[in-house]
Every structure is written in C-alpha cells, then in structure tokens.
Structure 1
Amino acid sequence: MTVVSAGPDVKAQGPGNLGLVRRVVLTFLASVLTQLTGSAFNIWYNLTQIRPLLTQGQAARFETAVNLFNIAIYPLALLLSFLVIWSLVKAVRSHARQSDPDMWHKAQRRAVNLPWLILAIAGPAWLLTIPALLFALYTHPEPLDPRVPFQLVVSVVVSAAIALTHLFFVIELVGQRLWFPVFFDNEQPSSVSGTLPLTLPRRGIFFAVSAVACPIISLLLIAAPSEMFSLKSAAFPLMVGTLGIAFGMLSAWMLGRIIGEPIARLRASAERVEAGDLGPDTEIDLLRADEFGHLIGGFNRMVAGLREKQHVEEVLGRHVDQTVARILLNEPETLGGTEREISVMFTDIRGFTTRCGTCPPNEVVDMLNLFHGVMVPLIEAENGIINEFTGDGFMAIFGATGTGVPHADNAVAAGKAMLASLPRLNRQLEDRGLEPIAIGVGINTGPAIVGAIGAPRRSSFSAVGNMVPVAARIEGLTKEAGHRMLFSDTTMAALTDPPAVISLDPRPIRGRDEPVRLYALVSAD
C-alpha cells in the first residue's frame, strides 16, 4: 500500500500522535459540547422563568418556534464550523507548505484565529434567537406579558455569554494542543501576521463576564419577585447586582494589569535582545514579589551574562580573529582539535629584513599596521581566519569552521584581492613618506588538525599538519618563480570555479614526497 505524505508528519506531532481526521473530530466535538452547555442553561431558564408567564397557546407557539429555529439554524452553524475546521486539513493534504506558501500562511493564520472564526458563526446563531422568538410570540393573538421580552433577552444573552466565552477558551486550548504542532514547526504562532490573539487583560474581561456578570444577573432575576419590575422595589437588588458586576469587572481589569504589564515589559525587552541590543536599559526595572519577580530577575541575569559574553568576544576579537573568538566561546568541544580539509595561506613582505635595517622602528611599525589594516579585512571577507602575524606577514586559515564553504576558492579570491589592493596601499605608504612594498602569497590545501594548540593555561587556535609548512614553502618560491601568488595542485583540484592559470613545472618541496606542480594566476602578475 502506498502512503501519501500530508506535508508535515502530523502523526508524529501533538498529543497522542493524532491524525488529521481525529483532530477535526475532537475540535468539532469541543465546539458542540460548549454550545450544548449554554443551550442546557437556556432551556432550564426558559422553563423556570419564561414558561410560567405564557398562556397555553403562547407556550405552544414558543415551543414550535424554538424547534423550527433550531432545525433551521443549528445544522447550518454546525456545517459552517465543520468547514472552517476542515479547511485546515485541506491546506496540509495539498502540500501547501512546499507548493503554495501563500495558502500555507493563510492556513496558519486560520489556525491561530480559529476561536474567533468559530465564535463568528456561533455568536449570530445565538443572537438571532431573540428576534425569531419575539416575532413568534408577538404574532400570537393573545396579549403578551410585558416581562416576557425582558426575560427572553436576558435568557439568551446570559446563555450566549456563558456558551461563547467557554467556546472561545476551549477552541483556543484545542487549537494550541492539536493544530499548532501541525502548522508551526520552527516558528511561533505569534509571528504570523494578520492574527487576533486575545490579550491577557481582555481574557480577564471575558472571564469576568462569564464568571461574574452572568451568574449575578441570573440570580437576581431568578430570586426577584414579580414586584421587582416596579422601580422602587427593584432599586436595591439592582444596585447590589450592578456593584457586584462592576467590582468583578474592575478586579478583572486589575488582574489584567498585574499580569499584563510584566509580560509586556518582558516581551519588549526580549525583542530588543533578539535585535542585538544588550544595553543596561534592556534590563527590566520592575519589582515584583510573585513568580514574575523570579522571571524578571532571571531575565536580567541572562541579559547581564550575554552582555559580559559580548564584552569578552569584543576583547578577544582585538587579539584573535572574531571567528576564532566565537568558536572558543560557543564551541568548546572543538578545543581538542578536529581533522578537517582546509586551505592555508602564507603572506610575506618582500625585502622586509633589509628594510628593518635601514628604516626607523616607528616607520616599520607604521608600515606593518597599514599593511595589516588593509589585508586583514580582505581575508575576513572571504571567511578566512588570521591565525598569526609573523612580523612581515601572516598565516590565514580557510575552512577552519567546518561550515562547508569552498575554502580553496575563498583562499584564492582573498589572494587576488590582496594583490589588487597593493597599488592603493602603496599610494598610502607614499603619502606618509614610506617606500612601497611587494608581497608574495602561497596557498596549499589538504587535511590538518584544527583546534586550540598549546599548554593547558596558554594556547592558540591554529592548524597542525604537513600541509601547513608546505604552504609556507610555496610562498617562499614566489620570488624565484617570478609570480606574486602561487598555489599547489591540491588547491587547484579543490577549486569549484578555477580561474585562468599558468601551470608551472613540478618542483620538489620539502614535506611532499613527489614534486609539486604549482599554479599562478594569469591576471595576478
């Protein structure tokens, strides 16, 4: 039997490793059960509070209207709810993640907004009950008790508030458990545009309406005698109920502030940290004695630790390559050494020893600083690491991070850029009254041990292997061969996009068993 993939591996996601159809069924049942709860309250309220106020004929008309409304509206509302839920399955089964990113984004947005979408269907279904039933009662020939419209409106509104509030929260929980794992593998649902997540303060209001306002209103109407509809006798219970609802809503608002403020501050600070801002003002200066106090304290300590780590990286970066600094701090497992194929470059200023004997020390230092200031960025631009400065030159490693970059291409490109920058560098030297320079560049490619080399208390990030001194010896042949840059046959073989080259006769090089064929760039001399 052939099994067709449904986009993400939904069978391996979510609670119980549920399939798509089961997720639909559970989501649909959750929406139905919450509505049945509200309907049960509505039926009980109508039987105990509205039915006694109706004549026998009005009661029969009322019951008929309720049945007809339920037959007409409920199946339609259930069908629309099912179609909304099923649309999530269609996006997965059509492989929209790979074939139609726009469709997949809409499905993600629909998964986040699922509570609102179901609410938009159930809400009108509840509220349409009021005009439908009132129309049925008012068209009956018998006069209607004036208390019935008020009680009917209260019955539907309170039942709807209870049912819809629970519907929203239940669908939200079901969506988070069943649908978010399907649509969000490597991203947060909060990052999807066009969604309407319910904020914490508004959740408090929703809760207050369902848990405070609706029960108080219901109890007042159930317990109040018929004389309550006179303004004088109704004043006190109405005042008590109004105050109860007001205090409940105020408590919900304050709870939203108590919970919402630290979360908003944490979110804003986290976004700043994510953007790379680790300044002191990123820490949260909010004092709390509850769980948020521990959370804020931990966040501030994390920011301080990241700031210290950043400072260490900056300090290390002044003395070692920035890439090496990050490796030493973030990948301590590489300190013991790792065998990798790399490309090594040696660069040397020709005639440096003679110049040191004839120039003042400060001129030599100025020349070296200017030379390194121009050349080092060119190495780093090609993902190279300056391993060490050798006075009149340096050693650079390409491919030390093991990221799969074309290290041979990078090394040759860096060498070309260095030679191309020489005229500009020499003009700067001449502007300072210094003699121009010439350089030699040698490159070799091969396996080497890359890592922290040295004593336990003092080491440096370097490469060790036979191919390293061979690169230095190739650089030493540049003057003899009459080419400013030479690279070995192993480097040539590792190039993914070989440039136009001049092939030189094989030469014996100490460290290689066989004579080595060297190559020079056509455009480099």
Structure 2
Amino acid sequence: MSALKLTNPFRIFARLRELRDEERKQAQSNLFLSQALEKEKMEGHRLAVIARTVALGLVVLLIPFLNPTLSALYYQAWVLVFIALGWLQLRLASVGYSRAELLLIFLDLFLLTALFTTANPFVSEDMPTAITYRFDNFIYFFIILAVGTLAYSWRTVWAIGTWVAILWMLGMIRVSLFGHEVPELSTLAAQAFSANPIVLGELDPNSVQPGVRIQEIVVFFMVAAILALKGWRSNQLLMRQADIAAERANLSRYFPSSLVDVLASSDRDIGAVRTQDVAVLFTDIVGFTEFAERHKPEQVMTLLRRYHAMVERVIFQNGGTLDKYLGDGVMATFGTPETKPSDAANALKATTQLLEENEAFNKGQADLGLDPIQISVGVHFGPVILGDIGPSRRLEFAVVGDTVNVASRLEAATRDLGCRCVVSEDLMRKAGYSNEALQPGLAEFSEQQAIKLRGRKTPINVCTI
C-alpha cells in the first residue's frame, strides 16, 4: 500500500497521478478490490444523488425568502436543472475513469459559475453584474463538494476543488473586465463614504471585491484538498479490507468456514514450516480413465465438479482441510493448520460418510444419464511437515512427508485388495477404535491384516471396507 510521501511539494500533481495509476493496477489485479470499489461507488452515488436532491429541494424553498419577487423563479428553475443533472450523473456512473461523468461534473460547476456571474434576465432594475457575483452565492459550491465526497473518488474531489478555483477566478476576471457597470452608483457611494475608504471598498456596487473572492477560492480549495485526503485514506482502508477479503477467500478454498474466521483473526503464520501429527485422506474415482474415454468432455467435467463438491462438503462437515485436487483425486487432512484431539476420529467419520455419499451421488449420475462411479479411500495418521513451498509468485501451503505417501498408497491398494477403503491401524488406534471393540457405525471394517506397500520394506496393518 502506497503512502502519500512528498519530499518535494512541487511534485504533488505527479505524485497524485502515480497514486491513481497504482490504485488502478491494484484494482485490476484484485477481484475483491474491484468489486468493493464498484459497490462503494454505486452505493455512494445513489446516496449522493438523494442528498443532493434533498439539499437542492431545500434551496428551492429558501430562494423566495432571499428574493421575494417573481425573478426568483429564474433561479428556482436552474435549481431543478441541477437536480436533473445529478440524476443524469447517477445514470452514467461507472467505476474508474469516465469522460462522460467528469464532463457532467464540470458542467455542474461551469453552469453554477455562469449563473452567479451573469445578471438575471428577468430583473428589470439596472444592476451591476458585480452585485450578483458578490451576493454570497459562492457557498452553494460547497453543496456540490459535499455530495461529491459521497459519490466520487478522492481524485475527483481534488479535481472539483481545482476546477472551482479556476472557474471562480475566471468569473472574477470576466466580471471585472466585461461585466455591466452602473457608474452613477459608484459615484454616489464615493460621495457618501469619501471619508471611509474601507467602507467604500466594501459597498461600491461595481466592485467585485477581489480580496474576498481570493479568500473564497483559497478556503474552498483547502477544504477540497482536506476532503480529498480523507477520501484517499478511506480508499487505502478499503484496499486493505479487500486484501483481507481475498486472503479469507483463499483460506476458504482449503478450510471450513468456521476455521477461516479463526485463522483470519490469528497472528500465527500458517505458512511457517513445522511438524505435527495429522490424519491424511486420499480419495479418487475408480476407473476414471475409462469413464473419460467413453464420455464427452462436458460430461467428464460435470462428473468432476459434482464429485469434488461432494468431497469438499464431507471434508468440511467433519472439520477437515481440503489440501488439493489431483485430477479425479482429492487429498484432505485433519489436523491442519491446528491439531485437535478428534482429528483421527473426524477423518474416520469422513471416510465412512464418503462411502455412504457415493450411493446418493450415483442416483444423481443416473438422473443425468451418466454411468455410476465407485470411489476409493485411503487414510493414515502420523507426523507430517507443513509449510509454504514454491517460488514467491506461486506459494502454496503444502503437507508433505512419509504419512502422506502412505495414505496415497493405501488408497491405491484398494484395487489390489478389492475393497473401497483402506485405513491404517495407526489411525484406528488414534481414533480410539480397537479391532476388538469397533463401534457399531464402523462394524463394517474388516479384521486387520498386514499389507506391503510399494516402496516400503515394513508391512503396515490396515482395516478395509
């Protein structure tokens, strides 16, 4: 996140452009930030237009008290035009740079300046243009600025301050050089206040009072700059929150929602390398290669999506972590990133639930006109190594070690053993189920047997279904 650091104050405009470009790049690379900016912009714009409509509606009611003549209708009609322009801006509102939107904002400010620097055509009295210009009308620009902070980015708020300063200065020059004057009024004022030059300067009807006009410009620009700075800080907060949302979404790909909240609020670095005991589960579709050969690509992808969704739901329901998809296979762990006493038992429950869900899954296959499938599962418990692996641009949280290898080969052993599931004795023991006292829900597990796994010299005791 960039900071607004300026060692040279004359580089402020260049620095503002740099910040704008950095925010655009970040929004393009972060989907959550892009969505957050769009939501914030549209909600803010709707609120701004409503606030603008209410404020200008009150101005319509205020005008007759300030000008109790029929000429007030002229200004009331213009206020309605500005209300319509506000709703048109909402219709054209978009996230990011919009020429049409900026043009309408500039049109707002230009018309307001023109209104205050030209005479009301319905006023019959011969009045100097300067009277209209200096009649405390400048305060209405603050309404535009206030609603702008609700709807627009800090850059646009800064632009409003800059445009108003330029337009009001040009208005002062125009009125001074080309405005209608009534010299008789200046003569009368000079005669009345000849002994009070300060009062004369304030009351001369043909004077634009440049000192007061400069004061208005400077104060407005300072207020706009402060509001733009506040908008920039709010934008930085929004960008940080979007980054957090992206991180939480990334966590939710692997962990159940209940654990995501815990991890997001924890100061612990889950990517730090460490060793701990976990249960590792592998599952895949038996005969997937043949299925893929017999079916269309769309049907294969439909199968994989449904199968992965089923496995994810079961894993998360039992407090597990979805480690990775391996084509038609899935690797899951129980005990990452934090261990629990129930990890082995949860893995065992997930195993039996997956086998039960296989039947319901095949009913859905039949409804889609697809062949039924059979899944196989292998589960082991033991020490693993956890941590981030890969280059900095492709970091991935990984679980590796002998326990992972054993679990994978237990799943592969289901083909040779002619069963659907192979669970190691280590996991059964850790889960609290001895061979002699299996709980009723696990009674379908067979007697223990020792099997030899590829790449390992020592046989391993397992139970099967």
| TM, length-normalised to structure 2 | 0.45
| TM, length-normalised to structure 1 | 0.40
Question: Rg: which structure is higher?
Answer: 1
